[in-house]
Amino acid sequence: MDAADFPELPLPDEIARAEAQRLTGTLITPNGSLGRLEELGAWIAACQGQSPPRPFTRPRVVVFAGDHGIAANGVSAYPAEVTGQLVGATLTGGAPLNVLASAAGATVRVVDLAVDREGSATPEAAELKVRRGSGSIDREDALTGEEVRAALQAGRTVADAEVDSGADLLVAGEIGVASSTPASVLVAALTGAEPVAVVGRGSGIDDTAWMRKAVAIRDGLRRARAVLADPVALLRTTAGADLAAITGFLAQAAVRRTPVLLDGLVVGAAALVAEELAPGARNWWAAAHRSSEPAHALVLEHLDLAPILDLDLRIGGGSGAATALPLVTMAARLLAETSTYEQAGVTPPK
């Protein structure tokens, strides 16, 4: 089977969602007083196909790492070698994501798809590596046809492995200097936005780097629009192995009926492509937060997803999703563990 071929996706269980909504009305809280937590609880119930939902026991964050040839254009505040350094820091537990994930009760896995160095920090991280770096998307394809399918399959393989090993909630993150540039091109291409509408500060770039980034996105978008009708060609032309793998990961999670917390811009851009490849996948995703990157607002609007948090985060890497994870955990537990009026002997409202 081609890595880009996905079966028709199931919908979350609407009967379980309706039952969760009914159950919420019997709990010892004023109707609607838990706000978005009620909505999240019903979504979790629908994804699990049962009400009340099971509390999550094995949330898993998977970080996809890769370098991008466009970094040579000076579009990031960091040199390209920082990607490998951040991979090392995450593998040893010293990155912000590690702290946030640990606090939220999640474990972290790092997958090196395209870090531009021999091997990786660990052999396990590099077992699905596609290549070193990617083409500079302003003037050449990011990947070959064979590479883009290998990256999509890598993402699908990782999703299957995590679900098979017991993961009941997935989070995708990324590590890659300059990754917001191809992500912004993807967003502009798929939402019809102009380049200037998607150019953000990313890693904290100054005005000069912002202008270089705007030019890179403009040139990348010109090439992307030529293949807009073909999601795989769009990934080949514009993305990189990390973004392609995240795309496969998100779509396959939906195939496996496993809920996903979406992070910021880079994961959001991959989500747009995943929805093109596997229509309906977005029903299995929740938007963890609203990034301060302008392109991310376009992602949320296009996917019709309301963010759980809005903390002005720009860090990416899965950190925003890890920050929202405790709220998602609470939403499931509220439905599962809160007493009803009858159980508590409390008089319900009239």
Among the residue ranges 129-138, 222-231, 260-269, 307-316, the one predicted with the least confidence is 307-316
pLDDT in tens, 289-304: 999 999 999 999 999 9
pLDDT in tens, 28-52: 999 889 999 999 999 999 999 999 9
Indicate if the pLDDT at residue 119 is higher than 70: no
From CA 149, how far away is CA 131, in angstroms rounded? 12
Residue reference for tokens 């990157």? 293
What's the angle, vertex CA 49, arms to CA 44 and CA 51, rounded to 5? Answer: 70
pLDDT at 176: 96
pTM above 0.85, yes or no: yes
Active site residue 119: no
Among the residue ranges 77-81, 120-124, 127-131, 167-171, the one predicted with the least confidence is 120-124
pLDDT in tens, 307-341: 999 999 888 899 999 999 999 999 999 999 999 99
pLDDT at 120: 64
Indicate if the pLDDT at residue 121 is higher than 80: no
pLDDT at 122: 77
pLDDT at 42: 97
What number is the average pLDDT over the span 10-14? 96
Strand partners, 64: 111, 174
Q: Specify the higher pLDDT residue, 348 or 268.
A: 268
Q: What top-level class would CATH report for the domain 14-54+334-344?
A: mainly alpha
b/e sequence 274-300, b meaning 16+ C-beta within 10 Å:
bbbbbeebbbbbbbbbbbbbbbbbbbb
The domains of the chain are located at 14-54+334-344, 59-324
> Which residue of the set 202, 317, 318, 320 is catalytic?
317
From CA 115, how far away is CA 148, in angstroms rounded? 15
Indicate if the pLDDT at residue 63 is higher than 80: yes
pLDDT at 118: 75
Let me know: does 269 contact 242? Beta carbons within 8 Å.
no
The CATH code belonging to domain 59-324 is: 3.40.50.10210
pLDDT at 1: 65
What number is the average pLDDT over the span 167-183? 97
Averaged confidence pLDDT in the chain: 95
Tell me the C-alpha to C-alpha distance, in Å, between residue 293 and each of 48, 209, 244, 305: 32, 15, 20, 16
Residue 123's pLDDT band (boundaries 50, 70, 90)?
Answer: confident
